[in-house]
A and B are shown apart, each in its own frame.
Chain A
Amino acid sequence: METSKRHLSISVIYWITNISFWIFVAASLLAVAIAIGLFFNLFGDDLNLHVGLPVSFDLLETGKLQLQNSSIDVKFVEAYGNIGFSELPSFVGKIYGVFMLVVIGIFFYIFKIFRTFVQNVYKGEYFETSNFLLLRKAGYGVLIFWLIILIYSILQYFILAQNLAFDSLELSGSIEFHGEVVFVALFLLMLSQIFLQGAKLQEDNQLTI
């Protein structure tokens, strides 16, 4: 094992990851309870479900921007937001319940893998085959996560956004493809290959007498 001094960034990431992980676990338990409640319609009309819209919308509003002693007319061009159900249809609750469970499950899987990877690095185990496997799993996990949020966005676009009507705003834009998530997944897969090469080099180095 490496005995070199641990860099401050590793310690910071280690503690942030650990604290966030346990906060996430607590939040997930609550979210799972809500998801089950949604699926079995346990909340009735008591739950005011807020659902994020997959498209941006134009508010038909104008305003003033005070800048350098002058007032400039501005128009609200684009915003993102949620819609709240005052009466939640039971089939919508079922869909969101299942969706929440799947997303929590996958996110938990990715987070757990990432935490194990950070713990390995914290212990000084950098170029190990286990780290290559962890990063590869995380990469594929993020790709699956992207697929699910893409499906979610498409469904929301065609089921919700296309059928929404408001007096003072116009829905605009198209479905978001969340390219940044794919980039993260590909970056993780690329990192996993770097760690694989590192593990091979480390093995060669250890077996050089």
Chain B
Amino acid sequence: MAIIVNLDVVLAQRKMSLTELSNSVGITMANLSILKKGKAKAIRFSTLESICEKLNCQPGEILEYKPENGGGE
């Protein structure tokens, strides 16, 4: 998928573990792990809002668009 999830990078910058984030935003570890590994097919605005609120960041810091096979813009 051309959308890259940089959750691990933002977590590292904030010196926060996945477990801490999971406990504070009320999303299961399993779901956060799916998100972190880039296996998620979609993300709800409410989830994104909770994560951004807790990590004090913008959605663009967590999600990034990288064209596949060198195509795109």
Show the binding face of A for B, using Cβ within 8 Å: 203-204, 207-209
Contacts and interface: CB of A to CB of B under 8 A. Distances in A.
A3 B7 CA distance: 31
Interface string B25-49: 0010001101100011111100100
A203 B39 CA distance: 11
23 contacts: A203-B41, A204-B41, A204-B42, A207-B34, A207-B39, A207-B40, A207-B41, A207-B42, A208-B40, A208-B41, A208-B42, A208-B43, A208-B44, A209-B27, A209-B31, A209-B32, A209-B34, A209-B35, A209-B40, A209-B42, A209-B43, A209-B44, A209-B47
A162 B39 CA distance: 66
A207 B42 CA distance: 7
Nearest to B31: A209
Nearest to B48: A209
Given A203-B41, A208-B40, 15 more contacts: A204-B41, A204-B42, A207-B34, A207-B40, A207-B41, A207-B42, A208-B41, A209-B31, A209-B32, A209-B34, A209-B40, A209-B42, A209-B43, A209-B44, A209-B47
